[in-house]
Amino acid sequence: MIQIDLPTLVKRLNLFSRQALEMAASECMSQQAAEITVSHVLIQMLAMPRSDLRVITRQGDIGMEELRQALTVENYTTARSADSYPAFSPMLVEWLKEG
């Protein structure tokens, strides 16, 4: 199995992306989510006025509210856990590696 150095992947993120990831982790902890998913991070990016995702949605004529609702619905399917620290979902790790 390939070892992944998550701190190195996180360090490679730009400031806004790293903040969105941290905010997503905090939100997941408060919701007792078992995993931090890509949709958790994207929701946080939508909340940041200067994020790349908001620029992309404007340029692509994508409704931010519709996107936020779709991402929120996906988060409702995320498993809950009594653990205080959620794990990175496998898809999020892949996303960070691609970044």
Token duo for residue 80 = 């809950």
User: Which of the pair, 78 or 18, is modelled with greater confidence?
Assistant: 18
User: Which of the pair, 58 or 98, is modelled with greater confidence?
Assistant: 58
Per-residue H/E/C for 1-63? CCCCCHHHHHHCCCHHHHHHHHHHHHHHHHHCECEECHHHHHHHHHHCCCCHHHHHHHHCCCC
User: Which of the pair, 75 or 8, is modelled with greater confidence?
Assistant: 8
What are the pLDDT digits (tens) for 26-68? Answer: 999 998 888 999 999 999 999 999 888 999 999 999 999 999 9
Q: Is the pLDDT of residue 24 over 60?
A: yes
- Report the chain's mean pLDDT, rounded to a whole number: 88
What are the chain's domains? 6-98 (1.10.1780.10)
Token duo for residue 57 = 């949605």
Pairing of strands 35-36, 87-88: parallel
pLDDT, position 15: 92
